[in-house]
Amino acid sequence: MKESWRWYGPLDRISLGEIAQTGASGIVTALHEIPYGEVWPRQAIAERKAAIAAAGFDWVVVESLPIHERIKRGEGDLTDLFANYRQSMANLAAEGIHTICYNFMPLLDWTRTDLAAPVGRGGTCLRFSAPKMAALELFLVGRDQARDDYPSEVVAAAERWFQASSDDDRGLLMRSVMAGLPGAYERYDATGLKAALKLYDGMDRAALRGHYKRFLDEIMPAAEDLGMRFCVHPDDPPRDILGLPRIVSDADDIGWILNAADSPANGLTLCAGSLGANPKNDVPAIARRFAGKIRFAHLRNVRKEADGSFEEAAHLDGDTDMVDLVAALLQEEARRREAGEDDWDIPFRPDHGHELLDDAARNTHPGYPLVGRLRGLAELRGVIAGLSYAGRHQAGQAQGSDAGIGVVVA
């Protein structure tokens, strides 16, 4: 597996020189400064790639080439937007960059209500509080229909939180929810968010799927011609919020997407944290079911609560069996190698991370601290090394060899 690191380019407070010290060899990034819907110029791509190469890295995944909201809404004449998207793809391919992670979440990207929730032994983490999200929907945005979207006990807790909250608390909640839009220029206050939601009036799951199918029809043929690999990122959180449908939340959704465009270019970003926040998802089982379509992996963990809340756990803690998940990815890599596939090496990155030690002083993008992700990468590196050793040892035993005798990682 190819160790990678998300870097926000000139916007990032962590330098490529510091990332080099983590041991990662791949960079995952995008041209975040370019507004959605505009063409990524080849020259700008080449300059970013050159800066990455000069620091000793490969640009292994684009995360992401954003999809304009009008495409998600199916609004108006989309000819120019699709043409711009395909041109950006062609410019990336011309510079030797062929893997694109993207999402199809309407309006908001990943969503959290708390960006600095305390962790038991020190540090902070990202958290999604169902009562706080319900409070935002009901009392800040004024979406009364949200009463039907949450259990009654969550609505009651939302009312209690709102009554006890100050204007500063409410402003912080809104800013936290908006923080998951790293490349967008728009940040909404409550009035702006309510207005933006009106553009999605009447949008249901079937309609959003229809718009997604059109995107795949427009983009996948070009992706095939360019030798590109697209990998959709699951919804985060994997549930409807603000009355907006989410359609990449479980195994059934993933199956629909991969069947909607039967193309080698149509693949999956296996995000353990996003999928893991859905109580019905068995993440290692999903990885094994769709193994042949996984082009990129986000490895992180979450700890769920009965009311629908969850928070980021340490990478080897939480509800997902990370060792089993990594084993599934290594098994798929072995299959690809044996089959002679060129792209057998699955890039992964330690996704999110606790703010530890002096991370808070850096004021990095929420969820993307240096020390916390370095801890996660080190833990994952150990799991990969242990499983790889165990595999070699077992293979040696099967061949009657005494090579590799030692401690076997179960």
Query: What are the residue numbers of the active site?
Result: 233, 271, 298, 351-352, 368
Of 312, 304, 316, nearest to 280 by C-alpha is 304
At 15, the amino acid letter reads S
CA distance 359 to 56: 24
Q: Can you tell me which residue has the tokens 């100050």?
A: 166
At 193, the amino acid letter reads L
Peptide bond into 64 cis (omega under 30): yes
CA distance 115 to 309: 14
The alpha helices in 363-409, defined as continuous H runs, are 370-398
Helix axes 205-226, 79-94, angle to 10 degrees: 40
The token pair at 88 is 């950006």
* Run of H or E including 252: helix 251-260
With 0-12 CB in 10 A as exposed, 13-18 as middle and 19+ as buried, what is 298? Answer: buried
CA distance 273 to 277: 6
The total number of residues shown for the chain amounts to 410
Beta pairing, strands 26-29 & 58-63: parallel
CA distance 67 to 74: 12
φ and ψ at residue 235, rounded to 5 degrees: -65, 150
